[in-house]
Structure 1
């Protein structure tokens, strides 16, 4: 807050105005380097590392407020984070890990790459991932590339069906080509660290072997089996003739706990697609339906909640942009009064002009101070309102978990329909065989084969039912957890947002009140003139 001083004392600082180069005054950065009324105060903290979705990169203002997602990129759980208690820090305190950091990006060459020109082969960026489990003083450090994070996400999606698995950062190749390399790497590093913290804070995933192996296992992460789409399709093509010839092929019971994928499950995909079309278009009631009314109601509420989140997130971005514009406008106002002060000082012929120059400098100081306050306010606004973005991202995990449930239900429905179809075939064969004296050995052998198929299908159905019930239970637990964390996060967001808005508004008001007091002589002289 500016201290009040009489005009005569303030005139002693006019020498700063004399050294201001007018030609450079059009550039905020140049003005800041030659005349800064706030150099005597502590400089504000530098803005955090930019995130992946900046609002505005182009800004010539020395105010340079951060974008909406700037603060979101930095992990709130890092060692340098504030020690103040919050729901997120409380969840981090209950996780299996006390420390996770992604740092030291390095460029490495592909191992299998061959090139006639040294150094011209394909490369990738690897990151040093450091972690420590709670109660263990040792820190594990491993090298991981983005492909390894993709592998981890795929394995977690398979192992934790029905859970709200935090989504991994996207691989935005277009953004990596447009942005500066260092900026893109910094953003990805921060996003990957934030992703690992979200995994560690998840009650089920934080204690999983998948995450532990990723954070502690030395060497390269092995790729999961059957990730090559081409090999899947070739394998499916090799099996396709047998399937089209009508040979019964029942998936092993353990395979039905995962959704159908690619060419390896081509027959299963066709069957489940047929079952889905019969249910949706044929108007036939499936043998098993979703009867959990409470879940269906919550699912609809989640869809409505997502729409509200999307709208609130857009308005939050508009708010931050408006605060950014306010800060830049205040900076421009300060620059205008800097120019006016310089002109009055250089061209002054009377004492009144010098006094006006002093008052113009006070206004310039207050405007620059208000500009910086707007920047700091933007940082705090982003810090709190990023909760909207975070929960909007969680909705991707919610959709995936609900999709897992629908997929598991469809698998059960398909297997139950298959059992009914197989039983119908047996009944027809037995009826036809009974009409032949002594029985039809060919039909009897076919009945025996069908009964074996029914036993295998029954086993698969039992596995599928158990998986469906497990996913249902995971959905129930996750919905309850999300509802609890949502209340905590949004209460913390609203309290912090309101407090920061009031605090910084008070700072701006105090600055302008000081200027009003220092220039109150004009009002007294105007009143004296009217009285006279």
Structure 2
């Protein structure tokens, strides 16, 4: 009978009843967690906060080693030597960089491998500096493992970079030298920067940074088992697509009756923020495109001025045109540099946070699923109690004992369902609070860096035209 069917368990392999009660303080010492790991318990907490002496207010650890900002070059921005000394002398830190993308193999079996270098003073790691080589599917496999373990308890998991069938195919069929040069291949550089930001965001999380799978990914210099289910055309990938469609339909069609106004207000805030960030990201992408087009037009002006100076008989005018061509070439390079700044500093951060807001919504949806499971248990309990009452009225003593056992069983399920729902609600509040602090700090650092770069470019542009002005005035 349909009312006898128990709903599929949502938490077969996830412990959400015992160990997570000690998670009231997300920012305890990493040394305490190292000790807890030695006793066989999973490390759940890490002191993820630090601040510079110039910032007395405590903020999340998101200084330069953990800020996903790149100026467009193939090498990531590194910390100052003073910052390194401060970290090494006191606060726990982890600095991750990805360099040296190389194409391995030929044909459709080829793939890109990336060198992941890590520097840290955290006691849970065996060394202070180490490097491994990982392929793109390894990153997706790591994300799947972290999602499987932590999403169902309300953690916000940073999203991994999206697969690009077109970009991957171009790399597979390209030549060996083209695949190895990150500067000569825009797709490879974008992916390298995105993977680096993903690892830094994961390391910035006080729980995920101590996860055994994450630590194995960073420090075990061995080839990881190939994550075949990450392929878009694999059987697991197709099933994941169908499940994702079902989850999306469920998110749209099911609306739970909120008893806590915090979640309703926060979800509305997240939806509004996502809408505005998406509009801003679209406009910034258009701005990047326009700057690159402006660089192309500036190059055309430089070429035309150079050809005109070659056929000009007037000496001073010819020199001025030649100087104009040189200035326009410099301006062209400046426009391209500004376009890269717009993309890697501003556009990519907005894209990252669109993905992170999706992860926040996923955590909210896990809470909704737990609420559905809890409500189903309550409905089943009511039916079991009704069936028990009918047996007592009809004196069916042969089935009464079984009915009593079923009532007790469903009462326990209802109690566990309520406990799980309350626990994930508390966890989401903590995670969203940490997410908001990191978001504000990330945007602060991004705006400062972006405006500093923009001012430098404008100052350089003024110098170029000031140096050309005397040549223009010398025309006689």
**Matched residue, 2:165:** 173
| 1:120, distance to aligned residue in structure 2 (A) | 9.3
175, 198, 202: which one pairs with 2:201?
A: 198
**Matched residue, 1:215:** 218
CA deviations over 1:94-149 (Å, ceiling 9, x no partner): 765334546565647xxxxxxxxxx9996665555444542464445555444443
Q: In structure 1, how many angstroms separate the alpha carbons of the residues matched to 2:311 and 2:358?
A: 58
Q: Give the structure-2-normalised TM-score.
A: 0.67
Matches within 5 A, 1:384-463: 384-386=345-347, 387-433=349-395, 440=396, 444-463=397-416
Q: In structure 1, how many angstroms separate the alpha carbons of the residues matched to 2:99 and 2:399?
A: 61
Query: Relative to 1, partners in 2 of residues 1:168 and 1:340: Cα closer, same or farther, differing over 3 Å?
Result: same
Which structure would you say has the larger Rg? 1
**Matched residue, 1:250:** none
Q: In structure 1, how many angstroms separate the alpha carbons of the residues matched to 2:358 and 2:201?
A: 14
Q: Give the structure-1-normalised TM-score.
A: 0.61
**Matched residue, 2:298:** 330
8 A Cα contact 1:73 1:194, kept in partner: no
| 1:366, distance to aligned residue in structure 2 (A) | 1.8
8 A Cα contact 2:71 2:340, kept in partner: no
Q: In structure 1, how many angstroms separate the alpha carbons of the residues matched to 2:129 and 2:82?
A: 25
CA deviations over 1:265-291 (Å, ceiling 9, x no partner): xxxx9xxx9xx99x87xxxxx8xx421
Residue segments in structure 2 that go unaligned for 5+ positions in a row:
1-67, 180-184, 237-241
| 1:362, distance to aligned residue in structure 2 (A) | 1.6
**Matched residue, 1:43:** none
**Matched residue, 1:151:** 141
| 1:309, distance to aligned residue in structure 2 (A) | 0.2
Query: Relative to 1, partners in 2 of residues 1:335 and 1:492: Cα closer, same or farther, differing over 3 Å?
Result: same
8 A Cα contact 1:130 1:142, kept in partner: yes
Q: In structure 2, how many angstroms separate the alpha carbons of the residues matched to 1:426 and 1:218?
A: 61
What SS does the aligned partner of 1:164 have? coil
What is the RMSD computed on CA atoms of the aligned residues?
A: 4.0
8 A Cα contact 2:70 2:193, kept in partner: no
**Matched residue, 1:382:** 343
Q: In structure 2, how many angstroms separate the alpha carbons of the residues matched to 1:446 and 1:74?
A: 75
**Matched residue, 1:49:** none
133, 154, 160: which one pairs with 2:150?
A: 160
What SS does the aligned partner of 2:367 have? helix
Matches within 5 A, 1:13-162: 71=70, 78=76, 81=78, 83=80, 97-99=94-96, 101=98, 105=102, 107=104, 127=114, 129-135=116-122, 137-142=127-132, 144-161=134-151, 162=154
Equivalent pairs counted in the alignment come to: 376
RCO (CA 8 Å, sep 6+): is it higher in 1 or 2?
Answer: 1
Matches within 5 A, 1:185-264: 187-217=190-220, 221=224
Query: Relative to 1, partners in 2 of residues 1:156 and 1:446: Cα closer, same or farther, differing over 3 Å?
Result: farther
Residue segments in structure 1 that go unaligned for 5+ positions in a row:
1-68, 109-118, 232-260, 263-268, 281-285, 434-439, 526-532
